[in-house]
Structure 1
Amino acid sequence: MIIIRSQDKTNLMKVSKIEINDNQIYVTFEDMYNTRKIGDYESKERAIQVLDKIQNFIENGTEYDYITANKVRCNVNRIFQMPIK
């Protein structure tokens, strides 16, 4: 699971699946029935580069936690921002 902000910055969504169709990137939501385009790039190669960035982001962890001064553990989700170009 990853949280992604769309290329046009108007949607913030938790997604289960990410795929490329030509030069566009689509995501599928947890229910596996709804799909949405979240990125449109100049070429398929650029779309693959963006997918590689998403993969790297996931590999580096999609959430982190920290402990406050009051010794309370907080869990924070990281959000991937789709590149404009």
Structure 2
Amino acid sequence: MPGATELLRRITVHPDRMHGRPCIRGLRITVGDVLGMLAAGMSREAILRDYPYLETADIDAALVFAAEQADHPVIAAE
């Protein structure tokens, strides 16, 4: 499996595409779309079948991106 840095190169953010949401390889499918399908219980195989332009590494990239986003420290206001 490619390393995290290599996978993250698959995630693109352009202000004029999908309202600046993180996308897979400049395509019009967002990281959130991929994560939502996984969260809904779709298998990787089903996602790749329904979206034949996606690759297994794209799903891995979405997961790595989400993991990094979730790892940001949160400062709670008191």
TM > 0.5 fold call: no
Give the number of the structure whose residues are more often strand, by fraction.
1
TM-score, normalised on structure 1? 0.30
Give the greater-gyration-radius structure (CA). 1
